[in-house]
Amino acid sequence: MSMLDRIKVASPCSADWNLMKGDDRVRFCSHCEKNVYNLSAMSRAQAEVLLRDKAGELCTRFYRRQDGTILTEDFPLACARRPFVSGDAPNSPSRGCSVLAAPLTRRAVLPRKPS
């Protein structure tokens, strides 16, 4: 199983992505003084490399489908990035992807393999 498929949210953060300085892929959080990486704005390969290089110890933002799949830039559905909005009608076309926006996290942790 890939690192991206095993990512867990260790400690959700309430910092607002829109108030951070940076671009679509990485922004600086002045609250925790760390870079926050948007995995959903990267290809799956780029996200995997980032997770490996940072050893899973980083702040992330991502969209996760209800089936647990983390959406990346190269995800095949064009509507996949639209986060669920609580006022959406259950059968509206915009809800067809069943995407939930995951909160920003202070730390993304990968489960360690038993020794």
pLDDT of the residue at 67: 85
Q: Is the dihedral of CA 101, 102, 106, 110 positive or negative?
A: negative
pLDDT of the residue at 91: 37
Using the structure block, give the residue that is written with the tokens 């995800």.
75
Domain coordinates in residue numbering, the chain: 3-109
Summarised one tens digit per residue, pLDDT across range 36-86 is: 999 999 999 999 999 999 987 889 999 988 888 899 998 875 444 444 443
Does the pLDDT at position 89 exceed 60? no
Q: Terminal CA-to-CA distance of the chain, rounded, Å?
A: 17
Residue 60: which of 14, 22, 103 has the closest Cα? 103
pLDDT of the residue at 94: 33
pLDDT of the residue at 66: 85
Round to whole Å and give the CA distance between 42 and 39: 5
Does the pLDDT at position 97 exceed 70? no
Q: Could you tell me the CA-to-CA distances from 43 to 46, 57, 91, 95, 113 in Å, in that order?
A: 5, 19, 29, 23, 25
Round to whole Å and give the CA distance between 112 and 6: 10
Q: Which amino acid is at 104?
A: L
How much of the chain exceeds pLDDT 90, in percent? 37
Round to whole Å and give the CA distance between 32 and 95: 33
pLDDT of the residue at 46: 95
pLDDT of the residue at 57: 83
